[in-house]
């Protein structure tokens, strides 16, 4: 079992729709969780972090964490073509960030 | 916010030669930096943890004699790919942060290495 798993996609949504990205992790002691966005040929940029169970909203982005189910998700509302990228889920394990394989999102105009 | 600078952005080298990649924290001191490698269409794989003033800690399966890491100061870590081969061609990315691991890390811009 991989430490951090994501649906590889690609996920295609129309402009203005909600994009839903999912991630599961295996290490129960993990305390902090992150979503990074990576455009092709670029390095990842942090878009959301979450530490407590529940929802955390930042603009069009909402991260959801359920530690009991070892599940993290990211919702992108009002998706824009500029949101087309690969979204990486990362989990802090003992001070090291471990990444999932990423989900490629395509937002169609 | 924290800024991490990585140089060069891309490099082409001949098989058998060595290449050095620099990672600098510009506005903070980083006792720990991390080096990742990313192959096309794959995720970031942690290669090693670079610790200022001490030896790097390598992840399982990473050849420490091939990927030499030096963290000589609180703002600079270097990764040297020795005796590079075409299979070492990849996107190498460093990261660091002054807020600690709980809050995530800032990544450098990455180095695209092509070995011919």
The answer, yes or no, to whether residue B35 has pLDDT greater than 70, is yes
Position B28 scores a pLDDT of: 86
Instruction: Tell me which H or E stretch contains B75.
Output: none
Considering only the beta carbons, identify the residue of A43, A51, A102 that sits closest to B107.
A43
Ramachandran angles phi, psi of A82, nearest 5°: -70, -10
Is B8:B21 a contact under the CB 8 Å cutoff? Answer: yes
For range B75-83, the mean pLDDT: 96
| Joined tokens for residue B80 | 């040297």
Instruction: Give the mean pLDDT of B16-37.
Output: 93
Token representation of residue B8: 């060069």
Query: Does residue B22 surpass a pLDDT of 70?
Result: yes
Q: How far is B40 from chain A (nearest CA, A)?
A: 9
Partner residue opposite B42 with nearest CB, options A43, A96, A101: A101
Can you list the residues of chain A whose pLDDT is less than 70? 1-2
Compute the C-alpha angle A63/A67/A70, nearest 5°. 90
Average pLDDT over residues B10-30: 94
Tell me what pLDDT residue A2 has: 67
Residue B80 has pLDDT above 90, yes or no: yes
Cβ–Cβ contact A70 with B under 8 A: no
Output the pLDDT for position B102. 65
β-strands B4-7, A61-66: how paired? unpaired
Question: Taking 70 as the threshold, does the pLDDT of residue B20 lie above it?
Answer: yes
Residue B88 vs residue A7, higher pLDDT: B88
Is A98 part of the contact surface with chain B (CB cutoff 8 Å)?
yes
Of B51, B42, B37, B40, the C-alpha closest to B94 is B37
Give the per-residue pLDDT at B6.
Answer: 96
Q: Residues of chain B with pLDDT > 90: what percent?
A: 71
Size of interface A-B (CB pairs under 8 A): 52
> Residue B31: what pLDDT?
85
For residue B44, give every residue at least 6 positions away whose Cβ sits within 8 Å of its Cβ, in sequence order, or none.
A44, A88, A99, B36, B37, B38, B93
Question: Using CB atoms, which residue from A44, A46, A92 is nearest to B101?
Answer: A92
Task: Mark yes or no for CB contact A96/B46 under 8 Å.
Answer: yes
Specify the pLDDT at position A8. 74
In DSSP terms, A104 is beta-bridged to A86
Spatial distance between the Cα atoms of A24 and B83, rounded to a whole number of angstroms: 38
pLDDT at B34 over 80: yes
pLDDT score at B41:
85
- At B30, the pLDDT band (50, 70, 90 cuts) reads confident
Distance CA B2, CA B75 (A): 12
Q: How far apart are CA B69 and CA B36, in angstroms?
A: 12
């Amino acid at each position: 079992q991989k430490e951090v798993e994501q649906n590889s996609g690609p996920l295609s949504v129309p402009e203005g729709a909600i994009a839903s990205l999912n991630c599961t992790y295996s290490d129960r002691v993990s305390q902090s969780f992150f979503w990074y966005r990576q455009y092709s040929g670029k390095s990842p940029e942090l878009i959301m972090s979450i530490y407590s169970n529940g929802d955390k909203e930042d603009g069009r982005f909402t991260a959801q964490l359920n530690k009991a189910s070892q599940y993290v998700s990211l919702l992108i509302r009002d998706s824009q073509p500029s949101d087309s990228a690969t979204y990486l889920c990362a989990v802090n394990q003992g001070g090291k960030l471990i990444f999932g394989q990423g989900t490629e999102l395509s937002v169609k105009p | 916010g924290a800024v991490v600078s990585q140089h060069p952005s891309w490099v082409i080298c001949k098989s058998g030669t060595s290449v050095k990649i620099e990672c600098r924290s510009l506005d903070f001191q980083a006792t720990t930096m991390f080096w990742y490698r990313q192959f096309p269409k794959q995720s970031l794989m942690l290669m090693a943890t670079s610790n200022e003033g001490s030896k790097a800690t390598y992840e399982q399966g990473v050849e420490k004699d091939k990927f030499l890491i030096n963290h000589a100061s609180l703002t600079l870590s270097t990764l040297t790919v020795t005796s590079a081969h075409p299979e070492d061609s990849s996107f190498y990315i460093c990261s660091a942060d002054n807020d600690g691991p709980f809050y995530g890390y800032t990544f450098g811009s990455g180095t695209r290495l092509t070995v011919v």
